[in-house]
Structures are given as C-alpha cells and as structure tokens.
Amino acid sequence: MVLKTGAGVLADRRRLPTALRAVLGYYADTGVFDAGSLSLKSEIDDRTEAMVDDVTDRIEAALEDEFGCPVEFSYDTKLILPAQLTLGYVYRNARQQAPGDPVIDTIADGVPTVDETALEQGPAQDLAPREMVVRAEQMTRLSIEALIDGDMRDAINDDEFEDFEVDFDASEADRRRVAEVAQSALQSHLDGLLEDMPPVVENAYQWAVDYSEAHQDRDDYFRELMTAAEDGDADALTDIREAYKFAEYDEAPATLTETEKKLPYSKTQYARVGVLYDGMLDLYRLAGLDIDDEFAKAIVLAIIGAQVWLDDVDDYEDDRAEGQLTPVTAEYLLAPDDEAAYRRVVDVTEQYLDLAKSYATAADSPLTGVAVEYIYRSGNPDVLPGKPE
C-alpha cells in the first residue's frame, strides 16, 4: 500500500516524463507492474516504425512522380497505437506460452505471410506460439496501412492538411495535392493487399469503412445543428442531446455491452473512430488469433477517449469557430455555463478511460493499461474555458 501511494504521488508530478508518470499511475491505480511489458514496448515501437517507414517510402515515390522531384514526406498520426498494442498483446501471450523461444524473443524482419487457407480457417484455431507471431505481424502491417489510410481520408474530408508535412514550401493547394496523392497511393496498395486475401477479410474491412463513412455522411447535418444551437435554437439543442450525445444504436456492435452503449456519445464516437479499431481486431481474429473480449473493449474505449481528450480538447477553439460538432463543442452548447461544460468534458473522458483501463487489467494487458494512463496524463484540458479555480 505504501509503495502504491508513493507511486501515485510521483505520478502527479508534472516535472517527470509523461511515460514514467503513466507507469507509476497505472501501478498506483491497479497494483500491476510488469517490467517485461515495458521492454516489449520498445521492440514493438521499432517493429511498427519500420512498417510505417514502408508506407512513407511508397508515398514518397508517388509524390516524386507527381511533383517531378524527390519529396520527403511525414504524416503525424497517433491512431496506429491500437495496432501496436495488439501486436504487443499477441507477442506477450506467445512468450508466456513458449518462454525462451528465440524466434519469439526476437522480432525479426522478413516475417512470412499468412496463406489464404490459414485465413479461411477463421478464428477457431489452436495456433503454436510461433505461428501466432507470424500472423500478428501480417495483420499489424495490414492494419497500420488501413488506419493511416482512414485517418488521411478523414483529414481530406475535413480540409485539414497541416499533418501532411513535406520538405518544400507548400501552398495550401500544394498541401491538398500532397494529401490526395498520399492517400491515393496508400489506397491503391491497400486494395492490392486485400485482393490477395480471402473475401472474408476484405468484407470485414469494408464493413468497418462503410459504417464509419455513414457517420461522416451526417457531418453536414451535425454542422447545421451546431449552427442553429449557436443561434439559440432550443430544438437544435434537444436534437444534439438526442441524436449526438445519447443517440441509440441502429446496428449494435458485439464488442460493447449495455454499459458501454449507454455512455455519452457512445454511438457517434464508435462510428467516428471506434468501429475502425473493432474492424481491425476482427482482422486479427480472422487470422486465427485469440483476441480477448476485454482487450477489444479496452482498445475501442481507449481510442474514443483519446479522440476526445487529445484531439477534440486541443481543437476546441478551431472546431467551435468552424462549426464542427464534437463531444467537446457539444458540451459547451449543452451545459449551463463554461465551468459545467469543462467538468462534463473531464467526466466523459474519465468514464471512457477508466473503463478502458479496467478492461486492460482484466485482459492481463499491462501494456494497454499503461497506454490508457499515458493518454489521460497527456491531455491538456487547461486550454478549455471554464476551468474551476
């Protein structure tokens, strides 16, 4: 108890690195400390960084063709974290089943692909630890490309190009061209990967994309509601509460229980980001990997919490000015004053992240639990109006 209390005190010291505070905070909250998971994280980071580099190389080749000269490209996205955590989850399980296996203990380049027969067998398979690692690697490569592609689609849809970085002085028109070329190159390669896989894989991926795009198709409607609410329309406020904050599911996701489906903004944020990670986890399951239900819920809830706490909080001023409805801008319309809105944003975030952390612990995934703690401690709600004195 003394150690946990001391860890909690240290976790609250902002002068310490956020990563260290996350480890201490998770231990203080759960009593779980796993040194092996921490060392695994650096391995997973290296492995997935190489996968992202492959994506970047492909995009840079397309940009060179488009602009007639070599172009250095980078794209800032936090949304591959769930793929990293899932790879770490499978590796940890494999190592626990086969401790000391040199193939599993070393993440090697040149991992072979999973053949179609293996994928068609579906999730009900008893895989050897080495085969688990092979399949997890392939699904992580596919997932990273799909997640970056989806994030790029959203950015282009919202006319947000600041994360598309190049090494020349790009005009706004150039940035749009860069974004469209980058996304097109990625989509073309991704389509080729999916064509080489059994239809069940492509169908699972397409279901998640269609579900998410159906939400994007309602973006104009939500913008109209926000504009009307800003103008004092009481009916618009009611619609925001009923159709955005507490919307009911038409097609309830199997991953979430009634508890999660009743969370504020559950349906809209599941459709906005959660479904993409639910679909990602289905790809791992189709490859025969045992993805625990608690782990899946931890991932989906953590990414929804991160979207609100990191992106929507930071973008509040811009989103409010541009009429973009998010859980954060919604609360500042629905709450009686700024302080109440501030408290509600914090409360909504904590509901998602606390549940995510509890599910990560239940799934025996300390790496995921620490990541959830890191998300929470990385937020900066001080940028919002109405912070209590």
Give 182-219 pLDDT, tens digit per residue: 999 999 998 888 888 788 888 888 888 888 888 888 98
Amino acid at the residue 372 = V
Q: Tell me: do 96 and 189 sit in the same domain.
A: yes
Enclosing domain of residue 13: 1-33
* DSSP character string of 283-332: HHHHTT----HHHHHHHHHHHHHHIIIIIIHHTHHHHHHHT---HHHHHH
Q: Tell me: do 286 and 359 sit in the same domain.
A: yes
Q: Could you report the per-residue pLDDT of 36-65, keeping only the tens digit for each?
A: 777 788 888 888 999 999 999 999 999 999
Q: What pLDDT is stored for residue 1 in this prediction? A: 46
Confidence of residue 109 (pLDDT cuts 50, 70, 90): very low
The H-assigned helical ranges of 68-128 are 81-97, 102-105, 116-120
Burial label for 77, CB within 10 Å (0-12, 13-18, 19+), is: middle
Helix (H/G/I), strand (E/B), else coil: 180: helix
Rounded Cα distance, 370 and 380, in Å: 18
In a domain, 388, yes or no: no
Residue found under tokens 């002068």? 15
Count of structural domains within the chain? 2
Q: Could you report the per-residue pLDDT of 280-310, keeping only the tens digit for each?
A: 999 899 888 989 999 999 999 999 999 999 9
The CA–CA distances, whole Å, from 337 to 33, 242, 333, 383 equal: 41, 20, 9, 16
Residue found under tokens 């994309």? 209
Q: Tell me: do 25 and 119 sit in the same domain.
A: no
Q: Tell me: do 16 and 50 sit in the same domain.
A: no
In a domain, 6, yes or no: yes
Rounded Cα distance, 71 and 62, in Å: 9
Q: Tell me: do 6 and 121 sit in the same domain.
A: no
Q: Tell me: do 15 and 148 sit in the same domain.
A: no
Q: Tell me: do 231 and 309 sit in the same domain.
A: yes
In a domain, 337, yes or no: yes
In a domain, 204, yes or no: yes
Q: Tell me: do 243 and 352 sit in the same domain.
A: yes
Q: What pLDDT is stored for residue 250 in this prediction? A: 86
In a domain, 189, yes or no: yes
Q: Tell me: do 186 and 148 sit in the same domain.
A: yes
In a domain, 113, yes or no: yes
Token digits of residue 7: 């860890």
115 or 295: which carries more pLDDT confidence?
295
Q: Which residues, 6 or more positions from 284, have their beta carbon under 8 angstroms from its beta carbon?
A: 86, 90, 135, 136, 139, 143, 291
Q: Tell me: do 19 and 166 sit in the same domain.
A: no
Interhelix angle 81-97/35-67, nearest 10 degrees: 140
Q: Tell me: do 11 and 114 sit in the same domain.
A: no
In a domain, 85, yes or no: yes
Which CATH number characterizes residue 378's domain? 1.10.600.10
Rounded Cα distance, 209 and 146, in Å: 10
Please tell me the pTM assigned to this model: 0.88
Q: Tell me: do 194 and 330 sit in the same domain.
A: yes
